[in-house]
Chains A and B, each alone.
With several copies, the nearest count.
Chain A
């Protein structure tokens, strides 16, 4: 079992915090924590400062890392100011420090041979895909990317990221950028056009489920980073579970922080929030 062998807890300094569209791009000086991070891993950050009523960490997918630079190792996140915790974080000034645990969780699997990969991101779900794209390109793969969001401001796609992929497709629900509609509406076309072997995705659960439908229909692989609410991020609380089919066919409620966040899309029993799928290991006998 993967037990976050390389995870560290440390106080890290914010060395940059910039608004980009609806998000904040934040850079942290994290020392050698940066050495061990792989695309798909996440970090968990304490929010609210001393005396805060917020007792749980917040998880953020790692956007990218640099081993060395002006600040030693750095780690970057793309954070949406959403509720109290993320608003607190994105409001922090330069040089403020936060308590960070990472890198945590599973990472995207990289094929040993060059492939045609389609990377699909929803909202800030694009963040981990750029580092992944780089790795795939380094391995000789073709990388096409499609990013979707409700509106243009919620597409996170920095210029260098756009340049690094073979093609970039944008969809927005309101049509304020790219094609009007949801990412799934353009997937079938892209899969055919680019002869896609594998889909990598990150975004809201409903989007991942829809992508899996297409992956199943077209018979291609799908690795996705899921996002269940996490209380601990380190595997000790059992709040973050999704029903996952293991190699033997057994469905278990599996922790998305340790057995994920990156999972094989075909192994996840989708749309099961609010229920325990029949036949799950230990499910109540009805």
Chain B
């Protein structure tokens, strides 16, 4: 510990997603950090790489009925249903707070139609102090019988094309993919072709819990998203596959990260940044913990630069 801290000064922890540079690669995960205010009670938001906001939509949204959560073995299901105040109130209240707190900001956007994504990008284009957009395409597309965008290569592509067109080269676009697909590499391929600068992997897996006492689905929304350590092996696999196919595209990894050793798996698989989601529910200081532990583990392994470790498992695997 002593040693690590001493050596820290020589360790370059910074990472980048296209032109966006972050002092360290540990971010919050979308939907798992409230508006930022709540976590700021536990640590200064400047300490972490970036705050990824909950996915914001064009209009206010009540979300799904309760119960909205169920604990599962080493994980949880949630069915929040993207509750949020809509882009206007978000820009009026949440963004100014984050700016004042000095946080690096990645805004996550979500829409019900391709147009929604375009409108959101337009509203966000000129906002000062944003580092990147995360485009959450794990949303039902109302124009296509509610099929989730991320499950349809064509729809995924259309969303990214629109956002790219609106933004020009102004802000890096990180597209967040769902693991609930037959071939995540082919979806990645589409969104990269459409102009994604980076990918966020993975969103939650679709799951269900049945309450054995009421004998019906436990969640108000019936199904929910599975997150937490349970899904980490799926995240590692998805990141490994996508990094293998597109080694130059930076990946923001997430899925069950609660410690430095967990984050290290994602980094070796190919993640240039790591978001911490569910772990924050169990430990308000989880993001900081992951940040400190990961640095120590990398230093112990002789890395002097975080970026050298990204995708290392691919290089060492063929030795």
Binding site for B on A (CB under 8 A): 1, 3-5, 7, 9, 46, 53-57, 99, 101, 228-229, 231-242, 252-253, 258, 272-276, 280-284
Contacts and interface: CB of A to CB of B under 8 A. Distances in A.
Contacts of A54: 71
B66 A241 contact: yes
Given A56-B282, A231-B76, A231-B78, A1 B59 contact: no
Given A54-B71, A237-B281, A3 B37 contact: yes
B166 interface: no
B228 interface: yes
Nearest to B60: A282
Contacts of A9: 42, 283-285
Interface in B1-57: 31-34, 37-42, 54
Interface stretch (B80-88, B155-163, B168-176, B263-271): B80-88
B123 interface: no
B278 interface: yes
A55 B278 contact: yes
B65 A272 contact: yes
Interface in B280-312: 280-285
Interface residues of B, number: 45
B61 A282 contact: yes
Given A55-B229, A56-B71, A274 B76 contact: no
Contacts of B68: 229, 238-241
Contacts of B62: 252-253, 276, 280-284
B316 interface: no
B146 to A, nearest CB: 12
A155 B59 CA distance: 47
Given A57-B281, A232-B280, A239 B80 contact: yes
Q: Which 9 pairs between the two chains have the least Cβ-Cβ distance?
A: A282-B60, A236-B34, A232-B281, A235-B38, A239-B69, A282-B62, A282-B61, A239-B68, A283-B62
A241 B37 contact: no
B73 interface: yes
Contacts of A275: 65, 220
Contact of B37 (A1, A46, A99, A228): A1
